[in-house]
Structure 1
Amino acid sequence: MNPEVIPLHQIRAMYDAHTVRLYQAFSDEIADSALASGRFVSPPFKLERMTWVKPSFLWMMYRAGWGLKDDGQRRILAIDITREGLDWALSHSCPSHPDEGMSREDWTKLKDASPVRIQWDPERDLFLQPMEHRAIQIGLSKEAVQRYVNEWICRISEVTPLAREIHALVQQGRVVEAKSKLPVEQPLQ
């Protein structure tokens, strides 16, 4: 049997017919207020800042160091948003870096007109090592942040205990068991 060949750029996520799961890491203050109210509350959440969401659990673990990297990323939240919200974000996005050959002026115009940035970074394995294919990161700013916070979020849950459990299993060399606990992420269709 051949292992699955994953395209270089493919959005893989945990999703159903109505929602898509994204991940973010936050401080205790932001996580506690979001979990208590079922949405991000400003303050402490900053609506005026770009906020980056990731559908890849392992990329989030890499970014936040399993929630152990620093106090600002100690709590890992799973945010289920509407499929329509994600579709809107992707259709109002531009790459986080200019395409080859694009002039600085054209890049600035595109960036200013787009409330969403897309960045593709190497996906990570259980040991947080880079893989061949890429995981998408989605940066939400301006109108996109407002829509995210006020319209798209269906549910916020904490996955910090799951992250710590998987991390402990990896450290103990129990890789098969750790892998069995990962969220099932499929190509988004």
Structure 2
Amino acid sequence: MKLKIKKYKEQLQSWPQKGYHIMAQYDDEKIIVYQSYKKQIGDFAVKNQYFGGDFSLERMTWIKPNFLWMMYRNGWGKKDGQECVLAIHLKMTAFKKYLKNSVYSSYNERLGISREEWQIQIKESSVRLQWDPDHDPFGNKMERRAIQIGLRGEFTRCFAKDDILLIEDISDFVKEQYEYVLNNDLDNLLIPEEHPLLFDDEGLNIKLKLNEH
């Protein structure tokens, strides 16, 4: 497994507790995002290092850079059809491109545009942006917000093949760590090492609310 792993409790001490943060494992070239699929889709992706087979290029696909938020959504890989947990090493240039082209999935006056303008953007855009409450290992809501990005159309096609550097199946790791959660043993829980991500592009930071607390 190429992921960098660190004890959850050690990371917790330095993590922001509230505000909008892209919590992720990343460097200048790549960012790790997570998805969960049924075994046939996951096995094809790992074997071929791209998404194909039963993977639908016509549906919107959501990516999540935050490991624990993914665990909340897929029930630590226990939900039906989400047993195969993938860590996708995504080109950072592609991730930024998604965000620059994204439109918020729900309207808010703070977007600085009218509802009508937002509705036009939604129809024209192929990237959705959503902030949701982050969650702790037990699934409890936190004040900090976690990001997820929905892709469709040409963005899905680029994501499925061109934008990926590596696809890892981390299902066994997830199962092992879930045992610590079930036993209420967070002292031994290991998760991918994550830090808040900020961009050099201040306009993008503002759009994503990353300067807000």
TM-score under structure 1 length normalisation: 0.92
Cα distance, 1:86–1:4 mapped onto 2, change above 3 Å: closer
> 1:76-109: CA deviations, max 9, x gaps?
1000110000000000000011123865532321
**The one of 11, 14, 19 aligned to 2:25:** 14
Cα distance, 1:86–1:64 mapped onto 2, change above 3 Å: same
1:134 is aligned to 145
2:82 is aligned to 73
**The one of 22, 32, 46 aligned to 2:56:** 46
Residue range with higher mean Cα deviation, 96-105 or 167-176 = 96-105
Give 1:164 deviation, angstroms. 1.0
Aligned pair 1:112/2:148, yes or no?
Answer: no
Letter in 2 for 1:64: N
2:6 is aligned to none
Work out the CA distance in 2 between the residues paired with 1:184 and 1:57: 9
Aligned pair 1:28/2:36, yes or no?
Answer: no
Q: SS at the partner of 2:165?
A: strand
> 1:142-174: CA deviations, max 9, x gaps?
121111112210000011111111110111121
**The one of 121, 135, 140 aligned to 1:124:** 135
Letter in 1 for 2:185: R
> Structure 2: any 5+ residue segments left out of the alignment?
1-12, 199-213
Give 1:15 deviation, angstroms. 0.9
Q: SS at the partner of 2:156?
A: helix
Work out the CA distance in 1 between the residues paired with 2:115 and 2:14: 42
Cα distance, 1:145–1:3 mapped onto 2, change above 3 Å: closer
How many residue pairs get aligned? The number is 184
Question: Equivalent pairs: percent with the same residue?
Answer: 39
Q: SS at the partner of 1:63?
A: helix
Aligned pair 1:63/2:73, yes or no?
Answer: yes
Cα distance, 1:3–1:123 mapped onto 2, change above 3 Å: same
Work out the CA distance in 2 between the residues paired with 1:3 and 1:31: 33
Letter in 2 for 1:88: K
1:173 is aligned to 184
Letter in 2 for 1:57: F
Work out the CA distance in 1 between the residues paired with 2:59 and 2:29: 27
Work out the CA distance in 2 between the residues paired with 1:78 and 1:125: 19
Native 8 Å contact 2:18 2:143 kept in 1: no
Runs of 4+ in structure 1 displaced over 4 angstroms? 101-104
> 1:20-61: CA deviations, max 9, x gaps?
0000000011001101100101x3100011000000111111
Q: SS at the partner of 2:35?
A: strand
Work out the CA distance in 1 between the residues paired with 2:15 and 2:197: 15
Give 1:4 deviation, angstroms. 4.7
